[in-house]
Structure 1
Amino acid sequence: MYLGIDLGTSCIKLVLVTEGGTVVDTASVSLTVSRPQPLWSEQSAESWGEAAMTAMDKLAAKGQLADLKAIGLSGQMHGATLLDNHGDVLRPAMLWNDGRSAMQCSSIEESVPNARQLTGNMIMPGFTAPKLLWVKENEPAIFDKVAKVLLPKDYVRYLLTGEFASDLSDATGTVWTDVAKRDWDDNLLAATGLSRDHMPTLYEGSEITGYIKPELAKRWGIKQVPVVAGGGDNAAGAVGVGIIKPGQAMLSLGTSGVYFAVTDGYKSNPDSAVHSFCHALPGTWHLMSVVLSAASCLSWLANLVGNVSVPELLNELAQQQSDNQSDLIFLPYLSGERTPHNNPHAKGVFFGLTHSTERADMTKAVLEGVGYAFADGCDALHASGVKPDEVSLIGGGAKSEYWRKLLANILGQNLVYRQGGDVGPALGAARLAQLAVTPNANIEDICPVPTLVESYEPNQAEFNHHKERREKFSQIYQNLNSLF
């Protein structure tokens, strides 16, 4: 058995799989986000540890872990987890959708004029480096105590193994690395008052970083199994659905939305706010565009309109008359936006509400608005010279067949949905764990493309309809931008 642990924003999820890739069991524990001020988004790192231990206890109680051979980790990227020299957490972790550090982004690019060339990215508030500069400038007493900076999943690794380690796919999301060289960059670190001593050791995603602590092995009835580097959530999610070679891509409908494409070597297009990161497999890279609020927009709407679940919203929409064409448009920028706008101040907007607007109209507008934001990001990525042959849909939002069809029509692109698409990064983390302890393994054997469930071809008339609405969507953003 192999275990994948995915530390998401809304929950931590564990997936136990066999050597053949069959999912045997899962466990999850919910997490909460704190937003104490505008643009802030934080989580308690201690809550991650508690959730991980609770989820492991759940699996162990079922007697499922006796044959466990290795553990892989994945998780939300960019979060700044600050530890003192005793390994204690200094403050709540600043998350990937925290937008307070825009000024610090400019400072880093001024200090390191070739920052975009080194990192392959425009320096954005969501990344880790500007967050540390914000702490240095606004919480100097805390900054002076910082001994280690860890990404979220790597704090869980530290609790499991006592080791300070990270993988390259996650580490390149800090913008402290030279992405082409796959290593920390001293000038970028110095621009935020840090050095390599503050950083974890870097590994490829399929390398062993340490072993489970003896007391934890005893608690769960397992051997001191190796813990593998793993990957950031997007890279691990890609491994989970076999997106490992150039020409392959995925569209992830999670809390955020990601268009992820494996590249032929290292490529970058930072001025379009497209991200260039290392993949979780040795010697591979990828490009991706990011929508900060995707499936989370549906959860927000469900909470906003009353006691209703997301599946109930989608079912209500599916039953609505197909010829009911609402003019309602939704800007999905509830947490600001990355690609292509790089605007932490952007806001969510319903445009076109009338007395006849129904809840189903709002649901449809949210699905379309997220799709239009995806399309903007896809255009930016394609302009970088990467046009995938096939795009797989993954993530919790991809469970909706209605949304899958809608996205194909909005993007004007063939999309596929495969088995395991809703399991996501935890499955990829388990596969990376298997690679680490399987000598001379064929990567494609352990990370196959899953069985096709359904494919979706765009309808030309629908594509044209959405193309017109996308133009209005863009005009609304541009006209409101100065007001955000």
Structure 2
Amino acid sequence: MYLGIDLGTSSVKLVLTDNDGLVLGVVSRNYSVNYVCQTSEQNPLDWFEGFNDCIKELSRTNDLKKVRALSFSGQMHGLVLVDKNGDIIRPAILWNDNRSVKENHYLNEVITKEKLIEYTENISFPGFTASKLLWVKNNEPDNFKKIYKVLLPKDYLAYKITGVYATDTTDASGTLYYDVKNKQWSKKMLDILGIKEEILPKVYEPETVIGYPLDDKYLSKNTKVSIGGADNAIGAVGTNTVLEDEVNLSLGTSGVVLSVSNNLPKDKVPGIHRFTHVGGRYYQMGVVLSATASLKWFQETILEDNYKKMDLIIDGPKNNIIFHPYLMGERGTINDVDAKGLFYGFDLSTKRDDLTKAVIEGISFSIKDCLLAMKLDKVKRFRIIGGGTKSESWIRLLATILNAPIETIKLNEGGAFGAAIVAMIADGKYKNYEDTSNLVTTDKIYYPIIEDVKYYIDKYNEYKLLYHKIK
């Protein structure tokens, strides 16, 4: 058996498979996020508690001593600081935390974006780990002095399970102190941040076995533990998006466009991330910070019972309302931490259904923003994962806006199933990621509504123009 662990923003999910990749069980546990103003934090111990609860539940119906290997998929960019005893120094600062605006400005404008791209292939964002680390250095000097190791979220969970400090190439890429081109910590960036390499974990490929479980109550002490990788990279493994020119879309808390390449792309678009992928490849990634997060906000604040009929609303009458989903600022093509969400074009005739449809369209337009910036407008077909795929009408609308077919997969467990695949490779069942294509099968294909394509091209252009008018 193999075990995949996905450490998400709102929950931890475990997928257990048999030796042939057939899913035997899926369990998850939710935990809270502490949102205050522009800050977003979690207690890392909640992740470990959630993992233990999931393991206990799986063990009721499965002999987990037979698990040959396990691996991880994890939310990116989070700052986890531990002292010399391995204890948490302060709550983890998450990927969607925007407190480090000053530090972000310093990195982009004083160090300069050009130098950052030279050192790391990327520019700074408040969500990246480097600016968070600078924020702690500038605002919590006592905590900064206590640092023994700087970890990423899934790496902390791996440490709690194995006692080993480690990270991987895909997750390290999102720190802004990792040299993506040369696949090593950037000495230039470490000097800028004022830290020594010794406080960083060793970097491995995702399938590398780093250790074995310390606790053998449920798992065997012979179970191989591989370090795994960043949620978007491992989610792409879960959809078999591992070869050049393959593109994966994700409709989760954030929206993600991920495109695989054998080499680092020549075009360096400042708002588009350039990270290492599995199998020695690379990927470009465009991010919409508030994808289903925008929908959740709208559901809880305005929508009430209308959420259940969302598909009917999406398929309903068109309207002129435009929504910008910039509820947490935005990365992507606008790269504006101060960007705000808005509704534009409503009047006394506007109904809740109209606003609902505008939210869905706005999120979809932002995904198109990323695709155009990444020059992916000629892609013939996309694969998609994430909570947003529960709405068939949304996928069909997105296919129309992108003017390309979109595939869903039969097992929509994304990062957790991708992590199970990584575990199989770590165990030697498969030699490489290309060989795992038989584990992923297409469920449905959604095609553009041809008669609506022109309408949404025009509305997208209005959406783009509006941001520049009000900025």
CA distance in 2, matches of 1:407, 1:181: 36
1:212 aligns to what? 213
For normalisation by structure 2, the TM-score amounts to 0.95
CA offsets per residue over residues 332-367 of structure 1, 9 Å max, x none? 111111001111111111222333322222221111
Matching residue of 2:448 = 458
Deviations 1:58-82 (A, max 9, x none): 1122234232111110111000001
RMSD: 1.9
User: C-alpha separation between the residues in 2 aligned to 1:137 and 1:270?
Assistant: 30
Give the aligned length: 469
User: Which residue does 2:51 correspond to in 1?
Assistant: 52
The whole-number CA distance in structure 1 between the counterparts of 2:453 and 2:312 is 23
> For 2:190 and 2:164, how far apart are their aligned partners in 1?
21
* Residue in 2 that maps onto 1:23: 23
Distance between the aligned counterparts of 1:442 and 1:474, measured in 2?
A: 41
Output one character per residue of 1:86-129: Cα deviation in whole Å (capped at 9) or x when no partner: 11111111111111223212333434762212311111111001
In structure 2, relative to structure 1, the CA distance for the partners of 1:62 and 1:261 (3 Å cut) is same
Which of 382, 391, 398 pairs up with 1:400?
Answer: 391
Counterpart in 1 of 2:427? 437
Q: Which whole-Å CA distance do the structure 2 matches of 1:26 and 1:380 have between them?
A: 36
Aligned to 1:200: 201
Deviation digits for residues 26-81 of structure 1 (CA, Å, limit 9, x no counterpart): 11111221122x22111111211111111111112223423211111011100000
Percent sequence identity over matched residues? 38
The 2-side partners of 1:268 and 1:256 are apart by 26
Q: Give 1:283's match in structure 2, choosing from 266, 280, 283.
A: 280
Name whichever of 187-196 and 438-447 sits farther off: 438-447
Q: Rate the CA distance shift 1:439–1:55 in 2: closer, same or farther, 3 A.
A: closer
| Mapping 1:237-248, distance limit 5 Å | 237-248=235-246
Partners of 2:380 and 2:404 within 8 A in 1:
no
Q: Unaligned stretches of 5+ in structure 1? A: none
Gapped runs of 5+ residues in structure 2?
none
| Structure 1 position 203, deviation (Å) | 0.6
The equivalent of 1:366 in structure 2 is: 359
CA–CA distance in structure 1, aligned partners of residues 470 and 30 of structure 2: 35
The Cα shift of 1:305 comes to 2.3
What TM-score, normalized by structure 1, do the two folds share? Answer: 0.92
Counterpart Cα distance in 2 of 1:26 and 1:32: 20
Residues of 1 paired with 2:250 and 2:464: CA distance?
22
Q: Structure 1 pair 108/442, CA: closer, same or farther in 2 (3 Å)?
A: closer
Provide Cα deviations, 1:112-168, integer angstroms capped at 9, x if missing partner.
762212311111111001110011111111111111111011111111011110111
Within a 5 Å distance, the mapping from 1:223-242 to structure 2 comes to 223-242=221-240
Matches within 5 A, 1:325-474: 325-382=318-375, 388-420=379-411, 422-438=412-428, 441-448=431-438, 450-474=440-464
Report the counterpart of residue 74 of structure 1 in structure 2: 73
- Deviation sequence 1:429-475 (CA, Å, 0-9, x none): 11001101116624333244722222233234312111111122122
Moved over 6 A (4+): none
> How many Å separate the matches in 2 of 1:283 and 1:58?
36
For 2:186, give the aligned amino acid: D
- 1:35 aligned counterpart, secondary structure: strand
**Secondary structure in 1 matching 2:459:** helix
Describe the SS at the equivalent of 1:25: strand
In the TM superposition, residue 387 of structure 1 has moved relative to its aligned partner by: 5.4
Q: Is the 8 A contact 2:269 2:373 kept in 1?
A: no
- 1:402 counterpart letter in structure 2: S
Task: Give the Cα–Cα distance (whole angstroms) in 1 for the partners of residues 352 and 222 of structure 2.
Answer: 52
Give the AA of the match of 2:407.
V
Matches within 5 A, 1:131-142: 131-142=132-143
Partners in 2 of 1:282 and 1:451 — Cα distance? 20
Equivalent in the alignment of 2:310 = 314
